[in-house]
Structure 1
């Protein structure tokens, strides 16, 4: 049976949310980000015309588009709107994967016998726009790679279907940059040997690509030929990661507990970024010496940043620790995970802070998760 996979993406999501809040911003060139030393988290189509792109330093973006209005961004609003959109879609489809805060995959395979998949997807998109006011694009095809590329080609507010017999003719003329796994390094490498469009890539011997790029070369060849068997993974808010520590001796040393908690948060945040997750909830657990257990939790804007989540963790610890009694165990859990990149929520971060995170993560990837970290988190008692 031919699969029917939909990729759905909210157009310029952060910008669209800001325009919902303030309709006078419609048509105004917008940059969502934090301060002169920050980076562009999102930008409107009006600014993209001048070459502004996400992750670009805001100073550079303003040189390209001096008339742009810079808005700090409201991650709490974006998170809440994302939950609303998820609920609307989840009610209407058999299998939904939330790929990030603003994009979704749906598996509608076999639904054509009951409804037309394209018509059904159109009605879902219209329902999202009607109930939230947010513009949304989608593409329907045989797998996740082709549908995601199709959505990108259909924006803004696009509706696109690429049937199985048309997959190759759709992909062939496009730049290899359109393939999701092709970054700048891979693009430059392939460009140097004359491969710039998908057709050229698809016609390369797969063993040559394997020698050039390793396992990724084989995967890239499949995607260039419209082959992708990756399943749509059902979305669940129950996904979480956690750490706990039981003290060898019960303690009342709050300074030492905070140091330990700092290290645990840092390790979990590295895991989030390594596996490309963002969390939307933090849970703190403490167990007293008499085995009574207290938990406190709070919703947070989607993030994977140590310094942000550490602040929430300390606030919850203060709320949970209400007795002058020794503590036997401390634990922290991040829940409500969605796939997403660290840069998505860096409205206040500077280029220097982003560079620091990237450098530290590279060191951890090479030498281990505990190889480098905050001094406070390394003082474990």
Structure 2
């Protein structure tokens, strides 16, 4: 029974969201290997895969893969550009559906969200009922499927939603949490990346059950305070509450060069164009900013970010440009650039009574 749960959390994750949206709008694409990303240019494209259909994944294609490699793996796949406007429109409609079911709601990306269902779910039957209702409503409204994980906490719910994709439903009751987690590889825990996984393997810790039983002092010697949360999650302990993240936290734009370049003028031209794009978006959304960030990726895919925080908030374009140029100086002449990006953070909504400081830089 789920009566003993302090929290009943649903994690809803759309299945291959961008590709699914495209297929729902163009039924002739259903069942085909579909890759969403930049133009592959017959194998010479410079961007990366944003997402792909499950049919494309059978060829070894996955998100963040260079688009040129995706083309080599499956040249007969259908390659489509990212249609951000369409995906956001569909996402907004889906999130309204999900929010209508929840006591509390937390959207974590364009295609996934947590729902606190504690007041509605009292056992396995009601968990199944509501999860099925949600899945059917999304299919009826948008023609795409989602996978649902149900558990007493956010992390286990997220792991559960990934357990039976696509179109899955996995319910983990309180008495089953440790049993469910124990055989899974440690990399299933969100936040444990390849480096942490490798260190754990060197410690003879490969699955979550072994992590749950590991000596906390030994873990802390390796991972510091992070070890406490790792071991807690491995034991199924997660008391974090949902937070309705409706505010915009950052605005950013990036561009991948057609060819790797160390042409200073070209780099600066693209940098300034990105600054202008970010500035237009900021004005449209009526924000001020205090931190400017740049992103640099070299031809070997090494990636760096740098940030500069101002002592004041502003919406001045020239401030964004100057900060970006200053931050970029560290990287000029080091190697050929593959990608650059510009972003702003520490955003505040414009107060019409506020006096802007724009002449200090």
Task: Indicate conservation of the 8 Å contact 2:98/2:115, yes or no.
Answer: no
Tell me how far apart the structure 2 counterparts of residues 213 and 377 of structure 1 sit (CA, whole Å): 32
Name 2:53's counterpart in structure 1: 44
Secondary structure in 2 matching 1:106: strand
Task: Indicate conservation of the 8 Å contact 1:172/1:198, yes or no.
Answer: yes
Aligned length: 290
Tell me how far apart the structure 2 counterparts of residues 312 and 182 of structure 1 sit (CA, whole Å): 32
Give yes or no for the alignment of 1:103 onto 2:107: no
Secondary structure in 1 matching 2:121: helix
Secondary structure in 2 matching 1:153: coil
Secondary structure in 2 matching 1:38: coil
The TM-score normalised by the length of structure 2 is 0.71
**Relative contact order, CA 8 A, sep 6+: which one is greater?**
1
Give yes or no for the alignment of 1:60 onto 2:66: no
Name 2:279's counterpart in structure 1: 313
Structure 2 CA distance for partners of 1:98 and 1:113, relative to 1, 3 Å: same
Name 1:247's counterpart in structure 2: none
Matches within 5 A, 1:168-183: 168-183=178-193
Name 2:324's counterpart in structure 1: 373
Unpaired runs of at least 5, structure 2? 40-44, 255-270, 311-321, 330-358
Tell me how far apart the structure 2 counterparts of residues 188 and 208 of structure 1 sit (CA, whole Å): 16
Name 1:204's counterpart in structure 2: 214
Name 1:127's counterpart in structure 2: 137
From 237, 252, 257, the equivalent of 1:227 is: 237
Tell me how far apart the structure 1 counterparts of residues 282 and 235 of structure 2 sit (CA, whole Å): 50
How far off its partner does 1:134 sit?
Answer: 1.4
Tell me how far apart the structure 2 counterparts of residues 8 and 315 of structure 1 sit (CA, whole Å): 29
From 95, 99, 120, the equivalent of 1:90 is: 99
How far off its partner does 1:369 sit?
Answer: 4.1
Tell me how far apart the structure 2 counterparts of residues 108 and 306 of structure 1 sit (CA, whole Å): 47
Tell me how far apart the structure 1 counterparts of residues 35 and 297 of structure 2 sit (CA, whole Å): 16
The TM-score normalised by the length of structure 1 is 0.68
Name 1:213's counterpart in structure 2: 223
How far off its partner does 1:64 sit?
Answer: 2.6
Question: Which protein has the bigger helix share?
Answer: 1
How far off its partner does 1:377 sit?
Answer: 11
- Deviates most, 100-109 or 118-127: 118-127
Task: Indicate conservation of the 8 Å contact 1:93/1:108, yes or no.
Answer: yes
From 24, 43, 55, the equivalent of 1:20 is: 24
Name 1:293's counterpart in structure 2: none
How far off its partner does 1:52 sit?
Answer: 1.6
Task: Indicate conservation of the 8 Å contact 1:8/1:105, yes or no.
Answer: yes
CA deviation profile, 1:328-370 (whole Å, cap 9, x unmatched): xxx7348xxxxxxx9xxxxxx99659958x41x2x33xxx547
Give yes or no for the alignment of 1:7 onto 2:1: no
CA deviation profile, 1:185-221 (whole Å, cap 9, x unmatched): 1112212222221111111111211111112111111
Tell me how far apart the structure 1 counterparts of residues 111 and 164 of structure 2 sit (CA, whole Å): 16
Task: Indicate conservation of the 8 Å contact 1:141/1:147, yes or no.
Answer: yes
Task: Indicate conservation of the 8 Å contact 1:240/1:333, yes or no.
Answer: no
Unpaired runs of at least 5, structure 1? 242-267, 274-304, 320-330, 335-341, 343-348
Structure 2 CA distance for partners of 1:125 and 1:333, relative to 1, 3 Å: farther
Please give the root-mean-square deviation of Cα atoms over the aligned residues, in Å.
Answer: 3.4
Give yes or no for the alignment of 1:153 onto 2:163: yes
Tell me how far apart the structure 2 counterparts of residues 161 and 306 of structure 1 sit (CA, whole Å): 50
Task: Indicate conservation of the 8 Å contact 2:11/2:149, yes or no.
Answer: yes
